[in-house]
């Protein structure tokens, strides 16, 4: 832990915005004098996070640049290393980052997973559930209402700590209920995806969640409710094959691994040589699967801007 940010290559930032041009704690895109048409006042600056982030477990060194990490410093820059490496964040950190401080109102937290298949080996599913609960984790997806830079949103957050963020019946139910309510009230829906796929221990009913969720996504679209999906490291299997790529705007985190089948299985089944960067966020941008790759420090400002753009009343129509 002795390594200080001063040893990092490049300038040591006081605020992340100095590190990445255009990225930062406060962003105010164009608007106002300089452009065409009557000047509008600049949009208010949006902080990189809604509140102070909780601690997350970190390695001692950055896996990308090797610099020794100072947890407090990293926490103040949204767990993005000076080199640009984005550390995985758990669900609590994502809620603190995306939701305005104090605005998060969790819903349906009392729905619990059940061991319907009586799964026993190599580890009893009930034991897996009990352990995760003992660690204070409440399923792989949590949903609730919040505000983002003052805009009311529905927020659904995957938590990779709970059985690999796997899509389960409880996760599917929470997602579906929140999608239905967002569609009914036309409240923008923000999804934070991080998942290894469907949960094996819930068998076919886990697979069925994909259909249940996508039916509700279809209704969200029919209700012309803006839907934003943020794909983080890693997002695989049944989650991108259900709701995570069906948003109006798909946003990937820099370097995130996103795909249907993981590279290990692809190599095993096709003996293919996979290029470096295969299934990265940047790869998915080139392949047309995501609209943009956005640094975590810029994400909130970008979402606030998108919500304004999509919710602006139409002039002369409707």
Partner 1 sequence: MPGRPRDTLSVWQVVELARHPDRPYALDYIRRMAPDFVELHGDRVSHDDPALVAGLGTWRDMTVVFFGQQKGRNLAERVSRNWAMMHPEGYRKAMRLARQAAKFGFPIVSLVDTPGAFPGAGAEERGIALAIGQAIMGWFEIPVPVVAAVIGEGGSGGALGMAVADRVLMLENSIYSVASPEAAASIVWRDNARKVEAAAQLQITSRDLLAMGVVEEVVPEPEGGAHLDHEAAARALEAVLWRHLEQLLPIPTAELLQHRYERFRYIDSLLQAAPDFGPKVEPRGAAGNPAER
Which residue, 118, 119, 159, is CA-closest to 138?
159
Min dist. Cβ of residue 44 to partner 1 (A): 19
Considering the complex, state which of residue 16 and residue 144 has its C-beta at the smaller distance from partner 1.
144
Min dist. Cβ of residue 260 to partner 1 (A): 4
Min dist. Cβ of residue 36 to partner 1 (A): 34
- Please state whether 118 falls in left (phi above 0), alpha (psi between -120 and 50) or beta: left
Interior/surface letters 2-31, b for 16+ CB within 10 angstroms, e for the rest: eeebeebeeeebeebbebbeebbbebeeee
Considering the complex, state which of residue 22 and residue 288 has its C-beta at the smaller distance from partner 1.
288
In the Cβ-directed half-sphere of 253, how many Cα atoms lie within 13 Å? 25
Helix (H), strand (E), coil (C) string for 102-146: CCCEEECCCCCCCCCCCCCCCCCHHHHHHHHHHCCCCCCEEEEEE
Min dist. Cβ of residue 272 to partner 1 (A): 5
Min dist. Cβ of residue 298 to partner 1 (A): 24
């Amino acid at each position: 832990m002795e390594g200080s940010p001063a040893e990092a290559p490049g300038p040591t930032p006081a605020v992340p915005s100095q590190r990445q041009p255009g990225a930062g704690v406060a962003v105010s895109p164009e608007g106002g004098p300089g452009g065409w048409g009557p000047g509008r006042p600049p949009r208010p600056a949006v902080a990189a996070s809604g509140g102070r982030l909780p601690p997350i477990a970190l390695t001692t060194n950055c896996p990308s640049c090797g610099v020794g990490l100072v947890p407090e410093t990293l926490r103040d820059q949204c767990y993005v290393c000076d080199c640009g490496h984005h550390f995985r964040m758990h669900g609590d950190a994502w809620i603190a980052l995306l939701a305005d401080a104090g605005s998060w109102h969790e819903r349906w937290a009392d729905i619990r997973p059940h061991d319907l298949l009586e799964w026993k080996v190599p580890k009893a599913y009930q034991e897996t559930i009990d352990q995760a609960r003992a660690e204070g984790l409440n399923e792989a997806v949590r949903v609730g209402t919040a505000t983002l830079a003052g805009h009311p949103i529905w927020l659904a957050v995957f938590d990779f700590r709970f059985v690999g963020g796997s899509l389960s019946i409880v996760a599917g139910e929470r997602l579906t209920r929140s999608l239905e309510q967002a569609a009914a009230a036309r409240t923008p829906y923000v999804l934070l995806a991080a998942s290894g796929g469907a949960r094996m221990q819930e068998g076919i009913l886990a697979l069925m969640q994909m259909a249940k969720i996508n039916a509700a996504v279809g209704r969200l679209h029919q209700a012309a409710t803006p839907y934003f999906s943020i794909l983080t490291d890693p997002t695989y299997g049944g989650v991108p094959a259900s709701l995570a790529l069906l948003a109006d705007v798909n946003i990937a985190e820099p370097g995130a691994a996103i795909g249907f089948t993981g590279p290990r299985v692809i190599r095993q089944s096709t003996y293919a040589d996979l290029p470096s960067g295969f299934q990265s966020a940047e790869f998915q941008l080139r392949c047309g699967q995501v609209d943009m790759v956005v640094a975590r420090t810029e994400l909130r400002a970008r979402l606030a801007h998108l919500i304004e753009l999509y919710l602006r009343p139409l002039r002369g129509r409707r």
